[in-house]
Structure 1
Amino acid sequence: MTKNAYSFHSKVGRRIFLIFLSCAILPISALTLLSYQQVAHHLKEQSHLRLRHASKNIGMAVFENLTALNDEMLVLATLYPSHPDQFGSIFPRQQHSLDKHFISLAIIEGSGEKRPLLRDMPPARGFSAVERAHLAQGKTLFWVQFEKEGNKRAFLAAPLVSSGSGQDLLVGEISIRDLFRQSLQALSLEREVLVLSSKGAVVFGTRSFPAEWLEKAGDHLSGGVSGEFEMAGEEGGEMVGYWTIFFRGTYAADDWSVFVLEPHNSAFAALSHFRKNFYLVALLSLWVVLLFSSVYIRKTLTPLKMLKEGTRRLSEGDLSQRVEIDSADEFQELSLSFNGMADKIEEQFSTLEKTGKTIRLILADLDRDKIVDTLLTRMNRIVRCDWVSVTFERPGKGGFQTCLASTTDEGGARQRFDTDLGPSELEALRAIEEFLVTDTLGSLSVLLSPIRDLGARTCLVLPVGKEQKVTGVLILGYHLQQKPRQEDVIRTRAIADQVGIALANASLVDELANLNFDTLMALARTVDAKSTWTAGHSERVTKIAMAIGGELKLSQGELDQLHRASLLHDIGKIAVPNLILDKANRLTETEYQLVQSHPDKGVRILEPIRAYRDVLPIVAQHHEWFDGRGYPLGLKGEKICLGARILAVADVYDALISHRPYRPAREAKEVLLYMQKGAGSQFDPEVVNALLNIEDSVFVPSEAQASLPV
């Protein structure tokens, strides 16, 4: 770049300037017009965006106001069933708050009788089947009642908790204008608001609107959650932005669409002012550009072009794009800033990707150990730290357990130990709002001592839990005495929240599994308790059947199915009298038929339970013989499901090795010989072979079994 290239002291310089001047007038004029159009277009887009945001803000404010009213009603609906006799003294304490938010309140009993609580409530409409189903789920119902005179009344109805019949409701009438009051105060004077239901009915409006206006607005009700359009009219018409409030899922009500209107003249006031001064500024700018461009065009065009190209590539997703400018001026500094920004964006995208993957892995697993292992393994990829410690509740055992690992030594051993959190530690954790950065032990010495002993000087503590209950703690340790970066704290808090959800899901699955197992065990013991001779029979049969299933390499799902079927296989004997079950003599034909009916009766008992429908074939077929001579259907071979064939072997084995009123218990070797002889006739040979291969510990009789009379 030469210093005298644009010097006016030479003929070449003057000639270049004259050529540039003559060539610049046309493009600059075109650029001026294009700039004006772009400004107008940009201003229009911004106006649409502001209107959409305004409609969304109003919609969210309305939903929040409605949620607050719903919360007040739910509190009242909870108090009334608990203290119906004392409600007259409790209600006045709430009346001052309710009086500001509700026009009237009443309790409407299932019989239709109305009990006013706050002013007299005019009659409300009846409920549809969908609305009644919504209320039956314990949810609040919201609706707008349109009167013939054009008046609109809004109601909230909440089922009374523990109301007995489940049909008593707490109904409150609310002011629609009050729902919009706060948001309207923040609205500029030039803007108007219209609210339509999903059926096109006018719910609220700051002014009256003609029919053609409502018709065009109604055309946009099914056009999406939000959007904008323009309405032609006098003085340039109006610009409209809208946003939808979704009520159906929460309140079983019609959705509302909030329309915010602004006159074109108001929206483009700045553009009108700009147009008045535009020509003067454009002319002045032209001469300024002509004057200074001759000096700076070469100096500025090249680095700007490089920066523009770098920005374009970066916006297209090329995060490795960097710009190198060596001009020893602000352009070089700008290139350094650009490169720093690109580095930061690349780091942020990489971290976000790792964070998202970690959260997906955590939430996708219901195994508590795998959740913790994922967190310990991947945490250092997301935030900078030297140690990670996770403390969580021990399922079914009470207390807490801690897993601690170093992030700088990925192959190093991890520590797992029990942690005794006392009332003081739990209270200190509950007092932490979001996180705690500490370089001392303080009241959390039990939690922090292990990680401090490894060399941590600063700890980031993030409690995990719901409401006021602490269910776990995530701790990051730092070797140096430093304050964690704010972005690391935010990411760690987000991960801690997801860990809390994942651990809660794992605990819920454990609780459901335990509840299911306990229920099955209770049902099995109920059946076995009919006779002292069959006490523990179902549990022993289950133990043998599961051992056979393991020997046959059944999948975990098949083993779970076999486990449930084994516990419930004799549930049909509930319908068999004890006199028959305990009879020492030979059964009559009628008695024998009654005993043979217990598989069918077991199926009928379990049929209504959807969770047990997959075990019905096993329960129904566990007395079928492999050669087809069994009951109740006489099935043969592999037409008998595998679970029933396994259960048949386990059931007969335990029956023969146990005492019965009509015979003494047989020796295990004698029973096994009997099973071998029955292979191919009564039993599936493959199942019998599996029985012979399982460990002897499965066949050891319990003390109760051995003590029964012979």
Structure 2
Amino acid sequence: SLREWHRLSGEKTAVWTEIQSKLPTRVFMIRSLYPSDPNEGFLAAEIDTAFLWDIGAENTLPPMTEICILDHSKNLLASSLPDPENFLVEMLAKMKSPHSGHFSWENGGDEFISAYWDIFIPSGFFSSNWTVVLSQPRNYVLAPISDFKKIFTLVVVATFLVIVLLSMIHIRRSLVPLNTLKEGTRLIAAGDLTSRVKITSRDEFEDLAASFNTMTNKIEKQFNTLNKMTEIDRAILSSLDTRKIIHTVINATDDLLSCNLTVLCIIDSKNTNTTSIYVRSGDQGKEDQIIMSNITLRELQRLVADKEYAFVHMNGDIPSYLEAFANTGINSFLVLPIYQREKLLGTLNMGYISPDSVLDEDIDHARQLVHQIAVALSNSKLIEELDELNWGTLEALARAVDAKSPWTAGHSQRVTNLALEIARALGPSQTEMDVLHRAALLHDIGKLGIPAAILDKPTTLEVEEFRLIREHPRMGARILEPISAYSEVLPVVLQHHERFDGRGYPNCLSGDAITLGARILAVADVYDALVSDRPYRTGWTPQQAAELFRQEAGRQFDPLVVEVFLRILAQKKESVRPIETGMIKSCVGEASDNPDLAGRPLLGVPILKRESW
């Protein structure tokens, strides 16, 4: 047309299509030879649409993909379909939207899915937009979905298994530390405070394990401290011996507290200016070191002022009771006064090489220990006072018995001293020594029931009088019988006039049937009676008494006790002269069985010659 002709003037190129009946539409490109003069002619060229869309011999379209190109009038420009005419009719019927869309169609029993859209052609080509239509078989398009449906279950199961596996791994990583912590908790609950948990998970569980071990360390330390405190409390509160209490304290405090030296000072209750200082010996099995020291009034006043505790630095004013430790390497002492009912009993002194090593918990434990020491020392002191009262009462009773006659003054105490000396050589226990001590003091308590006229009678005793005297051991046992604490004393008091050969009184016991204490007491009693003056005779010399014991060993006296006794006499360097012949005629008879009647005239009984006394 003329209008199109004028458009070709210039340097523009036009795209033109030629519709042919029953033949593919041809596409041309036209351009003026001389843009300045269109009348000079035009250059026209036909476009190879197959080459343009790569649908020729070498089809480069994606697999299973067909393409159709339509011009603006929906004429077919190019197609990769073998029979595009049938498709074109159906396609044009289903293209609802003028610019783009999709639809499905069938061809040869196969269902296709198509999508179309316009290709914008710039206005300079004098052509309207073309339409591109791409088609693929429906089963090919939906094949991925079909395949996905097939593998979806497997994917879900695999995913589930992976999740389960990862969960198990995570749970295991959590459960193993939890089980470790649980086991550690169980061991602690069972009393095993030495157990520790080890977790190297490098996460919160490892931090929790570290906190758990820190807590366990503190619990173990507190528990061990409580156990040691309990052991110390039990030891010192169950003991009534002051030395044992002190030994326990100074040997256990170093282990309980973090001090380097423990010093216990005990103030003399009778002389408050004197203190006994106890220090643990460095060698096992050795006795604790004891240092005697004075304490000044000023130091006592300072202790009274510092009732809780005080620190003493060894480079300053050192109290007299700590002067002995000035050059031991100890730089400071924690001094805790020991009070009982407002009375100062002493001090517990804990020495430290480094002053910074004093812990607050050590001070608390030391204060608690001081209270227990005060109670223990108070109990011990009470027992010591009761013990002194007991022994004082016994000695008073013994003096009361001896006071019945001026001739027996001091007899019970002398017999006691000799009996204990013999017993020590035989090596009895302390309990047996205490029983003998009490029995010796009270052995003649039965004489309280015998008239003094009979005891001091200078002339011959009647048989009835002698029978009464023989009853004094039994009377003594009856006097002591109500005192249950003296149940072990009774046999010694009752048997001290029994003979080793069974001819003594009151029960004619013999040999080992007589308690050892009574056999010892018999020797000591007879010796003191023989060497003491009586109203009916003068005392024998030690040599005369020694000879009698040699003769009567195995008969009246236990030969072992006699042997020990004679050895003691020899050690005392007693002068024993040779005994003159006829000096001792007989020691066999009732008179010799009672030391108070030895050498005493008795009707119808052989006696010692008066000239030998």
User: Shorter chain as normaliser: what TM range?
Assistant: 0.5 to 0.7
Task: Verify: 1:316 aligned to 2:191, yes or no.
Answer: no
| Counterpart pick for 2:455 among 577, 581, 596 | 581
In the TM superposition, residue 653 of structure 1 has moved relative to its aligned partner by: 1.1
Once the two structures are superposed, residues 521-553 of structure 1 have per-residue CA deviations (whole angstroms, 9 ceiling, x without a partner) of 111111112222211111111122222223333
Return the alpha-carbon distance in structure 2 between the equivalents of residues 617 and 582 of structure 1: 27
Check the 8 A contact 2:177/2:205 in 1, yes or no: no
| Counterpart pick for 1:481 among 352, 355, 361 | 355
Give 1:401's aligned residue.
276
Once the two structures are superposed, residues 97-140 of structure 1 have per-residue CA deviations (whole angstroms, 9 ceiling, x without a partner) of xxxxxxxxxxxxxxxxxxxxxxxxxxxxxxxxxxxxxxxxxxxx
**Alignment-mate amino acid for residue 651 of structure 1:** D
Check the 8 A contact 1:460/1:476 in 2, yes or no: yes
Question: Taking structure 1 as reference, are residues 345 and 616 closer, same or farther at Cα in structure 2, changes over 3 Å only?
Answer: closer
Once the two structures are superposed, residues 254-296 of structure 1 have per-residue CA deviations (whole angstroms, 9 ceiling, x without a partner) of xxxxxxxxxxxxxxxxxxxxxxxxxxxxxxxxxxxxxxxx9x9
SS in 2 for 1:614: coil
In the TM superposition, residue 566 of structure 1 has moved relative to its aligned partner by: 1.0
Return the alpha-carbon distance in structure 2 between the equivalents of residues 651 and 699 of structure 1: 20
Check the 8 A contact 2:247/2:280 in 1, yes or no: no
**Alignment-mate amino acid for residue 402 of structure 1:** I
| Counterpart pick for 2:548 among 674, 677, 682 | 674
Give 1:218's aligned residue.
none
Q: Which has the larger radius of gyration?
A: 2
In the TM superposition, residue 471 of structure 1 has moved relative to its aligned partner by: 1.4
Return the alpha-carbon distance in structure 2 between the equivalents of residues 411 and 694 of structure 1: 31
Give 1:627's aligned residue.
501
SS in 2 for 1:587: coil
**Alignment-mate amino acid for residue 200 of structure 2:** I
The 5-angstrom pairing of residues 465-504 of structure 1 reads 465-482=339-356, 484-504=358-378
**Alignment-mate amino acid for residue 444 of structure 2:** D
Check the 8 A contact 1:303/1:325 in 2, yes or no: no
Check the 8 A contact 2:446/2:472 in 1, yes or no: yes
Return the alpha-carbon distance in structure 2 between the equivalents of residues 667 and 447 of structure 1: 53
Structure 1 residue ranges without an equivalent (≥5)? 1-10, 24-293, 702-709
Check the 8 A contact 2:281/2:289 in 1, yes or no: no
Return the alpha-carbon distance in structure 2 between the equivalents of residues 588 and 19 of structure 1: 123
Give 1:276's aligned residue.
none
Check the 8 A contact 1:544/1:698 in 2, yes or no: no
Task: Verify: 1:561 aligned to 2:435, yes or no.
Answer: yes
In the TM superposition, residue 618 of structure 1 has moved relative to its aligned partner by: 2.0
Check the 8 A contact 1:392/1:472 in 2, yes or no: yes
SS in 2 for 1:461: strand
The 5-angstrom pairing of residues 225-624 of structure 1 reads 302=173, 305-307=176-178, 309-317=180-188, 318=192, 319-325=194-200, 327=202, 331-394=205-268, 399-405=274-280, 415-439=289-313, 445-482=319-356, 484-624=358-498
Once the two structures are superposed, residues 352-390 of structure 1 have per-residue CA deviations (whole angstroms, 9 ceiling, x without a partner) of 334433433334443333332333333222221122111
In the TM superposition, residue 423 of structure 1 has moved relative to its aligned partner by: 4.1
Once the two structures are superposed, residues 187-229 of structure 1 have per-residue CA deviations (whole angstroms, 9 ceiling, x without a partner) of xxxxxxxxxxxxxxxxxxxxxxxxxxxxxxxxxxxxxxxxxxx
Check the 8 A contact 1:430/1:468 in 2, yes or no: no
Greater CA drift, 539-548 or 334-343? 334-343
Return the alpha-carbon distance in structure 1 between the equivalents of residues 199 and 232 of structure 2: 36
Check the 8 A contact 1:543/1:698 in 2, yes or no: no
SS in 1 for 2:537: coil
The 5-angstrom pairing of residues 191-202 of structure 1 reads none
Q: CA RMSD in A?
A: 3.8
Question: Taking structure 1 as reference, are residues 487 and 515 closer, same or farther at Cα in structure 2, changes over 3 Å only?
Answer: same
**Alignment-mate amino acid for residue 532 of structure 2:** S
Check the 8 A contact 1:395/1:507 in 2, yes or no: no
**Alignment-mate amino acid for residue 278 of structure 2:** C
The 5-angstrom pairing of residues 71-150 of structure 1 reads none
Question: Taking structure 1 as reference, are residues 395 and 669 closer, same or farther at Cα in structure 2, changes over 3 Å only?
Answer: farther
SS in 1 for 2:415: helix
Once the two structures are superposed, residues 481-532 of structure 1 have per-residue CA deviations (whole angstroms, 9 ceiling, x without a partner) of 3262222222222222232333333323322222221111111111112222
Return the alpha-carbon distance in structure 1 between the equivalents of residues 290 and 511 of structure 2: 51
Once the two structures are superposed, residues 312-355 of structure 1 have per-residue CA deviations (whole angstroms, 9 ceiling, x without a partner) of 4234235332333353x655444433332233333333433344
Question: Taking structure 1 as reference, are residues 638 and 441 closer, same or farther at Cα in structure 2, changes over 3 Å only?
Answer: same
Return the alpha-carbon distance in structure 2 between the equivalents of residues 527 and 384 of structure 1: 58
Task: Verify: 1:648 aligned to 2:532, yes or no.
Answer: no
SS in 2 for 1:694: helix
Check the 8 A contact 1:385/1:478 in 2, yes or no: yes
Give 2:48's aligned residue.
none
**Alignment-mate amino acid for residue 177 of structure 2:** M
Task: Verify: 1:661 aligned to 2:535, yes or no.
Answer: yes
SS in 2 for 1:418: strand
Question: Taking structure 1 as reference, are residues 589 and 397 closer, same or farther at Cα in structure 2, changes over 3 Å only?
Answer: farther
Return the alpha-carbon distance in structure 2 between the equivalents of residues 509 and 692 of structure 1: 37
Question: Taking structure 1 as reference, are residues 631 and 378 closer, same or farther at Cα in structure 2, changes over 3 Å only?
Answer: closer
**Alignment-mate amino acid for residue 310 of structure 1:** L
Once the two structures are superposed, residues 562-618 of structure 1 have per-residue CA deviations (whole angstroms, 9 ceiling, x without a partner) of 111111111122233333333322223343333333223322322232222322222
The 5-angstrom pairing of residues 201-216 of structure 1 reads none
Give 1:180's aligned residue.
none
* TM-score, normalised relative to structure 2: 0.60
Give 2:602's aligned residue.
none
Return the alpha-carbon distance in structure 1 between the equivalents of residues 279 and 209 of structure 2: 44
**Identical aligned residues as a percent:** 40
**Alignment-mate amino acid for residue 292 of structure 2:** D
Question: Taking structure 1 as reference, are residues 411 and 546 closer, same or farther at Cα in structure 2, changes over 3 Å only?
Answer: closer
Check the 8 A contact 2:275/2:321 in 1, yes or no: no
SS in 2 for 1:377: helix
Question: Taking structure 1 as reference, are residues 359 and 464 closer, same or farther at Cα in structure 2, changes over 3 Å only?
Answer: same
Check the 8 A contact 1:657/1:671 in 2, yes or no: yes
SS in 1 for 2:489: helix
Check the 8 A contact 1:400/1:421 in 2, yes or no: yes
Check the 8 A contact 1:395/1:510 in 2, yes or no: no
Aligned residues, how many?
420
Question: Taking structure 1 as reference, are residues 570 and 428 closer, same or farther at Cα in structure 2, changes over 3 Å only?
Answer: same
Q: Which has the higher helix share?
A: 1
In the TM superposition, residue 437 of structure 1 has moved relative to its aligned partner by: 4.0
Structure 2 residue ranges without an equivalent (≥5)? 1-151, 576-612
**Alignment-mate amino acid for residue 481 of structure 1:** P
Return the alpha-carbon distance in structure 1 between the equivalents of residues 573 and 454 of structure 2: 27
Question: Taking structure 1 as reference, are residues 695 and 641 closer, same or farther at Cα in structure 2, changes over 3 Å only?
Answer: same
Question: Taking structure 1 as reference, are residues 412 and 559 closer, same or farther at Cα in structure 2, changes over 3 Å only?
Answer: closer
Check the 8 A contact 1:434/1:462 in 2, yes or no: yes
Check the 8 A contact 2:312/2:333 in 1, yes or no: yes
* TM-score, normalised relative to structure 1: 0.52
Return the alpha-carbon distance in structure 2 between the equivalents of residues 528 and 673 of structure 1: 27
Check the 8 A contact 1:359/1:498 in 2, yes or no: yes
**Alignment-mate amino acid for residue 374 of structure 2:** G
Check the 8 A contact 2:295/2:320 in 1, yes or no: yes
